[in-house]
Structure 1
């Protein structure tokens, strides 16, 4: 695997750590910025909103200008580092909010372009595995990034946490400038070609499945803490190691799925969504059992978020794996994340019980499974090799 793949993984690690690090320093930020803790929580939503809305729009602009992937990624990372540095020096909530929106927009475009570069440097049959390694950085951000930035905040203050992410981002930018390929001429990934991909119903079906899988996962995961303490009976002090086990399971699952995603995309998706749905159901029915609950937390960790490599492999097999296709995929995944968490909370607020988010997760998982089954066993479109348009590939068949 080319070294640039691991470097892109480290880059996504930094960007994702920045997205969620606010959750570990809410009291300190609330005090420093003279706002309520709920306002600090909104900073996470602002980052996500920038990813969902701003990322695709910025990618459209990049494609319209014909900027090669390498140059675009370097510019975006430089912008990200500047905005992150602005956040580190923020003395008001307004400045912090602006910085979070800008970093969210830049991060979303970075995700799409990083996956496009990943598709350029490996052969089509290895794209699923390569993307799993890139997305391992995202998984590690929740397992290592958040705890590390929280520790830095406790020892050196919240500004030091923001500066640490800025430093990693700058280091990644310099390394990418040295290692990333120059990229193909802009004409090979033109805006017209990328927009043409969105006429494919199969692409939107793949996007829908991705949103449902991540929505199902976060409908349950977002409320693991109250379920495990209020229903299962674990202590608050047990939550860190329980969530660490879940995080470790996502890393393992991501690497396993990455190995299988290219050759067995649809079997992996069907198996993963079936296990995810069953795990949510079993957890809901047996939430009072500590043993079964812990086992289901592990299964959800192995099969939920780790479906990303298979979902990416499916999208790359259907459409030209360019920046816009990947960035919109990232936005759709974030929409699924937010919708799943909201639906789980709405079910709980409606008085349907502590386990109701798990039932929401099971329903969304069932919908995700139903969305992919019609495509199992059907003709699978070839992934486009770097520099080839879908029309060229079609002519070669």
Structure 2
């Protein structure tokens, strides 16, 4: 029997789907680095292995959903996003709940199913207000999952501050200083720090042992500083090429971490593929040097989803003109206004990478950075059913976004998904 479209999902039909098995048919899957032709099964918000269901449970799917040859891929993770749609996480402190709601819901149209809200260098009072309020939470109809806060500062180099206010940049000094500035670390998932600062390596080791992802960035440090930081627990580079020493043949700086033989583990690196922050040639160099480490980030600020004009990032004013955001009265770049699907399209086009490589740079790779690749960033059995139906005919286009197996966004012109209900096999 043909049923009405399952799109859009509503709160009234969520409960009725509990424990039902959904089989997506007429689709292709991004799985294990390839595109394969196969059906896709989910139950209770998890990706399901159909073999034991068929042979052990002796049942078939409750609902079959025709995907019309769409490509199914993991949902995207944005681990550096400052705000969007008119809201800034570092300055809209009094409206933080509203800011998180608007941004986490707004990014669903770009296929983003998890984010790390990013707080730029700010007064101590901002950290003390924001960190306890910006809690980790699972995603759903209200918006993308909140994986935890990314604290980008204030322990950075004044010489490489970028769009961070100089008056709020601080010295590291030690663990007590970290606790004094941040107040608490309960909801913190990542911290960016300049590794050359006195005391930085002890702090990196301490916070990494607390389960916080440590990143090096906004740094005037050399390769040796970066290598020492990685060997102390750092595992990520914040927006490669931006706000760091430029590559030099005698000392490649933090960029040299991509090929260093003196570090205990390979690093991942964020890169803003918007055509403004990183030249396509530099993007190609990074990808060809260390493709497995490349993580697409938007570094989006309040103007994402809006238009030209003046906006806010942290404590500073920003002017946006023709997709370029700069601090008012200067030539300093101040975050981006691009969405994650735009970054993937730019990356694929300008690097010559495959669509699968672009998708994995926005899903599997950031999931690995956060240590959650067993839950997100793949279509592996047992993973969270955070996935997208996309069109890969020409530029990537997000058609439908799912979180925990529920449709949370559909593009206005996306083909309608129709459901067919089936009976279970009779037990033998």
TM-score for the superposition, normalised by structure 1: 0.22
Work out which of the two has the higher radius of gyration on C-alpha atoms and give 1 or 2. 2
Q: Which one has a larger percent strand, Structure 1 or Structure 2?
A: 2
TM-score for the superposition, normalised by structure 2: 0.21
